[in-house]
Structure 1
Amino acid sequence: MSAGTHDVVVVANRLPVDVTIGEGGSLSFERSPGGLVTALAPVMESQGGAWVGWTGKPDIDVAPFEDETMTLWPVRLSEQEVAGFYEGFSNATLWPLYHDVIVPPEFHRAWWNTYSAINRRFATAAAQAVAPGGTVWVHDYQLQLVPAALRALRPDVKIGFFNHIPFPPLEIFTQLPWRRQIIEGLLGADLVGFQRPGDASNFLRSVRRLTGLQVRGPQVTVPGHWSRPDRTVRAQAFPISIDSAAFDRLARTPEVQERAKQIRLELGSPEVVLLGVDRLDYTKGISHRLKTFGELLEDGQLRPPEACMVQVASPSRERVEQYRQLRDEVEVTVGRINGDYGTLGRAAVHYMHHSYPMEEMAALYSAADVMLVTSLRDGMNLVAKEYVAARSDLGGALVLSEFTGAADELTQALMINPHDINGTKAKIMQAVTMSTQEKRRRMRSLRRRVLTHDVQRWADDFLGYLAMSVPTPPSDLRPGRHHGETTQGDEPSQARTTREEDAR
């Protein structure tokens, strides 16, 4: 296999563009917003980067093309492959398994076969794109087999993997029939990154139990093959963040501030506005949140129209049955609460099942007195960080589930166990009645963390660690040569104390 020309290649399930099919089948592409794109765009621009991913539309063949700052390298998926790889194994097997089996995962061999085949296809595309000695950064649970498949094709490159969702405890992970294959796939990387230290520990424990490889601290020694020496894989937490400075600037604009005032007027100028913002997903604890709010109304601790709740639930995976059932359950609960406690023209819960642009979200954050994050399990939860970044006025209060990655960092939030309804009710009332001085003290501390640990710092930390793991193949080793041919080993990555402290 011939090497590509790109020094840095990102591999993710989706390309960073939205694809529109026009009349006659013409395609147009528009850059989709996102923190990952923002963080990596400067690296891509300076180093001639490429991004490998699916267009989001099945059965479309698109050749690699140039975007504003990078080359986009589309991977084709058929309608049947989307059903098996994405909707099936990724989101009906791995997603519930990795989120503490909140709903039962499904295990189907046909899905696994499709997942394996698609991961090999992504690895092949990355191998074709990356330059000799380049860097490949693979993202998330849909592509856990890519590192090992890519290393087989291109042993000359540095490979990083970042898992954006939790990694489950051994007792849960071992339910997966293909558990060893997943571990071996991830061990193809030089650096495996996670959101929380506990996720890295879960991974290392699984490595020790399922492979018998030597694990010392955060490092795994992978034995060499034939004449290839041993190499070292490092697993460590790198908590992701947002482009906090940009979100702070957006929230400060006169247009957003005026819209925030208008939102409160449209809600009837209530004394207290509670806000929830989520994808409509069973991991987000939306039903728990609505139950808690309903009981606060029933107890008389909160009374509409003086208090109301706004719930934004953007559509998610609506072709998956469990998500359709969740939508029905949430909408029935909202209807019941509004029927019991709403008044003419004044709903107790304002429920929106669609997405909003960032300007509207910034206005909602600015208008809300209390932000409710009640996730039952969450890798990070960037909504919590967006709310903090939007509150330059130092107002508002964040009620945050302890089962989010954000809870490790945002320690001045009011922490809750969303399964504990009485405890959650008490924390919400604490947020509602908190003094202005206390709100400002907590929010000042939260903003300090979010503004200094932004998404650019996250990317720099990860890529900095990965750069310390330098494969040094001999000059006669070409990409794609057989494993048995002579090669020098990868240099083990070395810990840097300051970066390690930052990642915690």
Structure 2
Amino acid sequence: MPRMAQFILTLIVGLALLTWAASGVVQTTAREWFERDVSSRAQLVLVGASQSLANAWYGDPKDIEKQLTDLARDERVMGAAACDADLNPRSSTPGFPEEFSCWAVGSRVRAADPNEYDVGRFQEWSTIANLPTGRLHVSASPVTSQGQDLGFVILLHDLSYIERREAQARTFLLVAFGFLAVMALGVPMFVARWARYGWSAELRSMLRGGGKQKREFQPILSDVRELVGRMANDREDMPGQWTAERLKQTLNRHLHGEKVMIVANREPYIHQRTSDGKIEVQHPASGLVTALEPVMRACSGVWIAHGNGSADRETVDRNDHVRVPPGEESYHIRRVWLTEEEEKGYYYGFSNEGLWPLCHVAHTRPIFRTEDWRHYQVVNQRFADTVCSEVDSDDPIVLVQDYHFALAPAMIRKRLPSATVIMFWHIPWPNAERMGICPWRNELLDGLLGSSIVGYHTQFHCNNFLDSIDRYLETRIDREQTAVVMRGHRTLVRPYPIALEWPVHWVETADSPKECRAQVWRDLGLKPNALLGVGVDRLDYTKGVEERLLAVELLLERHPQFRGIFSFAQLAAPSRTKIERYQNLNQVVEDLAARINQRFGHDGYQPIILLRSHHEPPEVFRFYRAADVCYVSSLHDGMNLVAKEFVAARTDLKGVLVLSEFTGAARELTEALIVNPYDLEASSNALAAALTMPAEEQLDRMRSMRSLLGQFNVYRWAGKMLVDAARLRNQERVAGRLSTRPTLGSKG
């Protein structure tokens, strides 16, 4: 029950009880007062008439009757009678009640022992009598002459008027208390509402920043601000419901809508000139681009990247800018130009022959060359200088992406000390012992510690990074807060598992799964009863493409029922083809596919369909929506967004994901069939289980994984980093203000 209703009910009950008690008191008091009044009046009347009655006592009885009639003229007097000393009636008014005869009253008027006295045989007497007709006041008074009692006079007063007056008093009392009740309820409620309205209006004005800050409101304002802050923090931490619009609001609320800058080697849109001379826009096969491009569409800003498309120079303005996406143009790409020698040393050499195999446990020996390291330094400095040329404030927000720019955070920090630099390392971080292989490990670690935040996909990689810092640099490590302090600068180390936009743009524009299946079946020449598996990767030795094809071979060997029915389509985008290890991998995969096809293929049936070319997202998602199973067999991967893309594509809740346990995605998509890709027998059995899995089980697994992807999407990923960055900025600003305050005892 609301408090107001409780208050009103309590007040009404209290007033009712008070009215009931008061009416009883008033009724009793009024009755006693009226009865005393009647008794006094009767005595005065009788005393006043005593002498005239005595004079007429022995005369004509009519004279006595006349005097009695005069006594009864008052409307409240019901009757009067005169009795002699022997209790015989002398006279009475008409209709005098027989119940009050001379004998009946005389016994009460007579003195207790009259024989002891010569006079005064009668005494004053009165009583209240209840008759069927109502209550009467009966009084008797002696009539004396010369000290001798002649008799007595009886006077009857009708008391019904008292009851009428009691009723009137009771009615008045009820009306009065009713009025008081209404006033007691109405006036306080009106005053309370008026006061609350004024109080609320004043408080709202102060909460909006207007009006005078009254002292009495300060405790409330403090509590409200604290609550709002807590709610805002809880909302940022709350999973689900993250959208592009919410990310914009988060940026505006926490970072005042400041421009976001991304530094990445890969650009999200590449302009290539085709063989017929036209310029086409390509989307690179990159998990980094898949994740970050929706964030830039939501937040706008500048994406600084290496321009390596054959038509990239032709499509930029004089400031090397181009607005993207085509047709939407919500942000800029700032292209940075590298010479062929710089690209070879920085990208192919140090980044992908050195750091890439160093960070991935895929049994490829890292190669470190001094010349490559010099180019790596030069290119990092060029990108840092480009950031500084693009900023419009001294504290910009810069998101540095991946292992290509390990030195850039410290370089940016040197030029822009107040900048918020978030470094996200998209690949695994090796353990401290393995990190020691790199001749320039200290420089790399020092460069990364120029960041405000260093992010990884998993806590395991965060721990490896902290262990490397602990082993090779002189710093203070806060293990509880997972932060590193070096030369007075504090760097947070946090896990931020990367994700996809939700819903995925390419899924919303794709055909239905049924139509996609029909198109893929037609393009690949598959039989109507065929089953299709799909793998989507850059052609990279860390992706386990060889192990994947070998697992398919073992599946067909151990489970002959799938021969002639099951085909595996491997979409393999050529990657880093200038590196010998990748050239060899390309040939190995081609030879392996040919051998399996020769062994099990027949009559137009190919178990391995190797599609080695760049595939645009619409085509990739067409395969996702058509396939019965997707196999991600990475030997070591930071996250692997292919697994998440496949789940996101399956709006029909069909299909099965077979996922390597050596991916970050395996920690989240636990409803997938998790395998060790090195264990070919277990992997082939998982493929067989996937191809025979009941539709109901597929639905349950897919629904659970899709729910997780919807909650933990890329907008939440970016929002969490930006919110953490905003909190760090605020802490640094407060610390800066405190450090500038004079200490106790200082002058000035």
Same fold, TM-score > 0.5, yes or no: yes
Contact 1:288 / 1:418 at 8 angstroms: preserved in 2?
yes
Task: Tell me, yes or no, if the aligned pair for 1:53 and 1:74 is still in contact at 8 Å.
Answer: yes
Matched, 1:331 2:604: no
Whether 1:260 and 2:482 are equivalent positions in the alignment is no
| Secondary structure, aligned partner of 1:122 | helix
Q: Counterpart of 2:482 in structure 1: which amino acid? A: Q
Q: Identify the residue that residue 222 of structure 1 maps to in structure 2.
A: 485
Residue matched to 1:480 = none
Distance in 1 (alpha carbons) for counterparts of 2:675 and 2:263: 35
Residue correspondence of structure 1 range 241-280 to structure 2 within 5 A: 241-247=499-505, 249-250=507-508, 253-254=511-512, 257-265=514-522, 266-280=525-539
Q: Is the 8 A contact 1:472 1:488 kept in 2?
A: no
1:75 aligns with 336
Secondary structure at the counterpart of residue 394 of structure 2: strand
Under a length normalisation based on structure 2, what TM-score does the superposition of the two structures give? 0.59
| Structure 1 residues 202 and 472: alpha-carbon distance in aligned structure 2, compared to 1, 3 A threshold | closer
Q: Considering only aligned residues, what root-mean-square deviation do their CA atoms show, in Å? A: 2.7
Q: Compute the displacement of 1:109 (Å).
A: 0.7
- Equivalences, count: 463
Q: How does 1:254-403 map to 2 (within 5 A)?
A: 254=512, 257-265=514-522, 266-403=525-662
Q: What one-letter code is carried by the residue in structure 2 that aligns with 1:188?
A: G
- CA shift at 1:358, angstroms? 2.1
From 439, 445, 448, the equivalent of 1:183 is: 445
Q: Give the superposition deviation at 1:101.
A: 4.8
Tell me if structure 2 keeps the 8 A contact 1:102–1:282: no
CA contact (8 A) 1:247 1:390 kept: no
What does the per-residue CA deviation read over 1:194-251, in whole Å, with 9 as the maximum and x for residues that have no partner? Answer: 1111111111111111113121224334243xxxxx2321111111112230257437
1:231 to 480, 485, 489: 489
For 1:165 and 1:221, the matched residues in 2 are separated by 21
Residue 417 of structure 1 aligns with an amino acid whose one-letter code is: N
Three-state SS of the structure 1 residue aligned to 2:334 is strand
Contact in 1 for aligned 2:534/2:569 (Cα 8 Å)? yes
Q: What is the distance in 2 between the residues matched to 1:472 and 1:215? A: 18
Moved over 6 A (4+): 25-33, 471-474, 487-490
Question: Residue 27 and residue 63 in structure 1: after superposition, are their counterparts in 2 closer, same or farther (change >3 A)?
Answer: farther
Which residue number corresponds to residue 163 of structure 1?
A: 425
Task: Find the aligned partners of 2:596 and 2:441 in 1 and give their Cα distance.
Answer: 43
Indicate if the aligned counterparts of 2:531 and 2:565 stay in contact, CA closer than 8 A: yes
User: Unaligned regions of 5+ residues in structure 2, if any?
Assistant: 1-256, 324-328, 740-748
Distance 1:422 1:30, change over 3 A: closer
**1:152 aligned partner:** 414
Counterpart residue number, 2:302 = 50
Of 30, 34, 41, which aligns to 2:297?
41
Query: Which SS does the other structure have where 1:268 is aligned?
Result: coil
Q: Could you tell me which of 703, 708, 715 is aligned with 1:449?
A: 708
| Cα distance change on mapping 1:367 and 1:71 into 2, 3 Å | closer
Partners of 2:738 and 2:297 in 1: how far apart?
31
Amino acid at match of 1:292: A
Whether the 8 Å contact between 2:476 and 2:486 is mirrored in structure 1 is: no
Offset, 1:271: 4.0
- 8 Å CA contact 1:19–1:57 kept in 2: the answer is yes
In structure 1, stretches of 5+ residues that fail to align are: 225-229, 475-486, 491-504
Counterpart of 1:9 (choices 238, 244, 261) is 261
Of residues 264-273 and 344-353 in structure 1, the stretch that sits farther from structure 2 once superposed is 264-273
1:248-281 Cα shifts (integer Å, max 9, x gaps)? 7437634x64132232353222442221111110
Q: What secondary structure does 2:423 align onto? A: strand
State the match for 2:106 in structure 1. none
SS at match of 1:318: coil
How far, CA to CA, are the matches of 1:294 and 1:118 in structure 2?
A: 44
Matched, 1:466 2:743: no
User: Deviation string for 1:347-390 (max 9, x for gaps)?
Assistant: 11111101222222222112211110100011111111111011
For the structure 1 residues 472 and 170, does the alpha-carbon distance in structure 2 shift closer, same or farther, using more than 3 Å as the test?
Answer: closer
- After TM superposition, give the deviation of residue 322 of structure 1 in Å: 0.7
Shift of residue 30 of structure 1?
A: 7.3
Task: Give, in whole Å, the separation in 2 of the partners of 1:10 and 1:258.
Answer: 37
- Matches of 2:616 and 2:425, distance apart in 1: 26
Whether the 8 Å CA contact 2:387–2:412 is kept in 1: the answer is: yes
Q: Please list, as runs of the form range in 1=range in 2, the aligned pairs for 1:25-174 lying within 5 A after superposition.
A: 34-44=290-300, 49-57=301-309, 63-67=319-323, 68-130=329-391, 131-174=393-436
What amino acid maps onto 1:12 in structure 2?
A
The separation in 1 between residues aligned to 2:730 and 2:395, in whole angstroms, is: 7
Is the alpha carbon distance of 1:221 and 1:418 closer, same or farther for their aligned partners in structure 2, counting shifts above 3 Å? Answer: closer
Indicate how the Cα distance of structure 1 residues 366 and 204 shifts in structure 2: closer, same or farther if over 3 A, else same: same
Contact 1:120 1:149 in 2 (8 A): yes
The one-letter code matched in structure 1 to 2:520 is I
SS, match of residue 133 in structure 1: coil
Question: Greater shift after overlay, 266-275 or 125-134?
Answer: 266-275
Name the CA distance, whole Å, in 1 between partners of 2:737 and 2:467: 28
8 Å CA contact retained: 1:10, 1:51: yes
Range with greater deviation from structure 2 (366-375 or 293-302)? 293-302
Point out which structure has higher relative CO (alpha carbons under 8 A, 6+ apart).
Answer: 1
Instruction: Report the AA paired with residue 178 of structure 1.
Output: W
How big is each residue's C-alpha offset from its partner over 1:78-128, in whole Å with a ceiling of 9 and x where there is no partner?
Answer: 010000001111111111111125211101011011101110111111122
* Greater displacement, 301-310 / 324-333: 301-310
User: Distance between the aligned counterparts of 1:176 and 1:89, measured in 2?
Assistant: 10
Q: Supply the AA of the counterpart residue of 1:262.
A: Q
Amino acid of the structure 1 residue aligned with 2:609: H
Deviation at 1:66, TM superposition (A): 5.0
Q: Could you say if the C-alpha distance between residues 73 and 275 of structure 1 is closer, same or farther in structure 2, counting changes exceeding 3 Å?
A: closer
Closer/same/farther in 2, CA of residues 302 and 165 from structure 1, 3 Å limit: farther
Deviation, structure 1 residue 168 = 1.1
TM-score, length-scaled by structure 1: 0.86
CA contact under 8 A between 1:247 and 1:386: conserved in structure 2?
no
Amino acid at match of 2:421: I
Give the aligned residue type for 1:397.
V
Does the 8 Å contact 1:133/1:471 carry over to 2? no
> SS of the counterpart of 1:317?
coil
- Aligned mates of 1:408, 1:318 — CA distance in 2: 32
Aligned residues of 2:336 and 2:383 also touching (Cα < 8 A): yes
The percent identity for this pair of structures is: 34
Q: 1:244 touches 1:386 (CA, 8 Å); kept in 2? A: no
Q: Per-residue CA shift, 1:422-470, capped at 9, x if unaligned? A: 2212222221222222111111111111122221221111111111121
Cα offset, 1:74, TM superposition: 2.2
Partner Cα distance (1:244, 1:50) in 2:
22
Please tell me whether the aligned partners of residues 272 and 308 of structure 1 are also in contact (alpha carbons under 8 angstroms).
yes
Is 1:207 the counterpart of 2:469 in the alignment? yes
Contact 1:147 1:188 in 2 (8 A): yes
Assess if the C-alpha contact under 8 Å between 1:158 and 1:471 holds in 2: no
DSSP 3-state at the match of 1:96: helix
